[in-house]
Chain A
Amino acid sequence: MREIVDRIYRDDSRRVLATLIRLFGDFDIAEEALHDAFVAALERWPVEGIPANPRTWLVSAGRFKAIDQLRRRAAFDDRRPEIERQLTELAEQEPVIADSGDITDDRLRLVFTCCHPALSADAQVALTLHTIGGLTTEEIAHAFLVGAPTLAQRIVRAKSKIRDAKIPYEIPAAADLPERLDAVLATLYLIFNEGYSATFGATITRADLCGEAIRLGRLLVELLPEPEAIGLLAMMLLHDSRRAARTNEHGELIVLDAQDRSRWNREQIREGQQLTERALQSRRVGPYAIQAAIAAVHSEANSAADTDWAQIVVLYDLLLNMNPSPVVELNRAAAVAMKDGAAYGLDLINGLLARGELANYHLAHSARADLLRRLNRTEESLAAYAMALELTTQEPERRFIERRMASLKH
């Protein structure tokens, strides 16, 4: 019985929570009600048997427990008559908890509330992982390398703002959807990146953030199959497919060109490619879908030399058109170097650096160093690597640059 309840908790607790939040309009009351509902299940199911629809059972159990709890609290409150009236109303109205679209809607409401732009990015991430992902505050704190009390406070503050400023629990209207969806996608991408950029040499928990972001991405695509949601999921899968090949046994970073592509996760690649296709066919192509397409082109090639660099350059052009950014220009320059030759890429990077925006960006200097190395301009390459080294704070990156410099000095 314990196992069955545990399984139902894993599979359904977030949905039950989403519905309880809608019914009570308060995260804390809903979380307590969820807890009480599962306690009740553990007591009663062994005697009465498992209900036909456990989720509906849990929602009504949670609802009764919460109304009870609120009644008891109201006894000490001088606004008692008003609260009593509201509670009676709440108890009488039959909540929509059947297996209908409403449950799906509740989860989508929860996604949009947790990723509301009136909350700080940090708070969005923490609340999303906690409420929708079901992670504990300790788990999230550990993954983001902050103290548990700090993280817990971030969540408390976000919940209070939702309640006190009355951030609505609703799916945005069509007119606001693109902007609000952007905020949701940005939150998922932030979670993914936090795991991805720290994967090398770091703890397993951090890599789990990638898995968690992908799981949330799947949920979003299931609830709201917008092209950009599909594009983001595709991009995350295609990047994550390289995870095993990105580091060696010492936790050292391996760049794309040098990765053993037989270690790429074929299943993730297949799914990522299909999703990319789906996002591109929508005719409403956005930046995430383009980035997924770039990753998909890489995933099709057996080696760096074998890669369709011309297509990648075209895709970067499209991306720049939508989202002008010097970092994207830098990536484009690296692709041009592969397509037309290192000298062409170098010209572009020199121009970019001259503009100043990327002057302190270590990847710009290491990309420049790499092209100089390929052009056999060893002295200049070493100087550029030294510059990159000075600007890098990440340990695996530093070791990578130092290895490159050592091999140049031979």
Chain B
Amino acid sequence: MKYLCLIYDEESKWDKMTQDEAGKMMAEYGAFTGDIQKSGHLVGANRLQPSSTATTVRSRAGKVSTTDGPYAETKEQLAGYYLIEAKDLNDAVQVAARIPSAKLGAIEVRPVHAM
């Protein structure tokens, strides 16, 4: 079963990191991604550009409107995701807990609808 692990981080925390600290986090991400690739959990992953680059789009009665910024203004912002294949929710939660940002922000684990 597939689960999407959405990474929510405070962008300001990343901004405040020294180059060393940020480098260390990225190294942790690299190691983690390698690990879950080996264990067969990894389906896909991406880091997103900051939420200031987001555009929110709506279509109403054939009319498209776009607004600047993310869908919801929150303290923590969507920073990236991992799509994983896991045996069940327990397995998925264990993977999510190891995402480096779990220590900084929060990970939302969502089961993917089977089509």
Contacts and interface: CB of A to CB of B under 8 A. Distances in A.
- Report if A and B associate in a common complex: yes
Interface string A8-31: 000000000000000000000000
Contact residues on B (Cβ < 8 Å of other chain), bracket = under 10
Among B87, B89, B111, the most chain A Cβ lie within 10 Å of the Cβ of B89
B111 A166 contact: yes
Interface string B86-115: 011110010000000000000001010000
Nearest to B1: A166
A162 to B, nearest CB: 9
Contact of B89 (A166, A172, A176): A166
Contacts of B89: 116, 118, 165-168
Among B1, B109, B111, the most chain A Cβ lie within 10 Å of the Cβ of B111
Contacts, number: 21
Contact residues on A (Cβ < 8 Å of other chain), bracket = 10 to 19
The majority secondary structure among interface residues of chain B is mixed
A118 B88 contact: no
A118 B111 contact: no
Nearest to B3: A165
A168 B93 contact: no
Contacts of A116: 89
Contacts of B93: 118
A176 B89 CA distance: 14
A43 interface: no
A175 to B, nearest CB: 10
A238 to B, nearest CB: 34
A165 B3 CA distance: 8
B20 to A, nearest CB: 33
Interface string A99-122: 000000000000000001010000
A170 B87 CA distance: 12
A164 B89 CA distance: 10
Nearest to A167: B89
A176 to B, nearest CB: 8
Contacts of A170: 90
A124 to B, nearest CB: 15
A170 B109 CA distance: 20
Nearest to A163: B111
A165 B90 CA distance: 10
Nearest to B88: A168
Interface string B57-95: 000000000000000000000000000000111100100
Interface in B33-56: none
Interface in A134-177: 164-168, 170, 172, 176
A116 B88 CA distance: 13
A260 B93 CA distance: 51
B80 to A, nearest CB: 21
A164 B2 CA distance: 11
A176 B1 CA distance: 21
Contacts of A172: 90
A278 to B, nearest CB: 30
A150 B90 CA distance: 28
A164 B111 contact: yes
A11 to B, nearest CB: 31
Interface string B1-12: 100000000000
Contacts of B1: 166
Contacts of B87: 168
A249 to B, nearest CB: 51
Contacts of A164: 111
Interface of B: 1, 87-90, 93, 109, 111
21 contacts: A116-B89, A118-B89, A118-B93, A164-B111, A165-B89, A165-B109, A165-B111, A166-B1, A166-B88, A166-B89, A166-B111, A167-B88, A167-B89, A167-B90, A168-B87, A168-B88, A168-B89, A168-B90, A170-B90, A172-B90, A176-B90
Given A166-B1, A167-B89, A176-B90, 12 more contacts: A118-B89, A165-B89, A165-B111, A166-B88, A166-B89, A167-B88, A167-B90, A168-B87, A168-B88, A168-B89, A168-B90, A172-B90
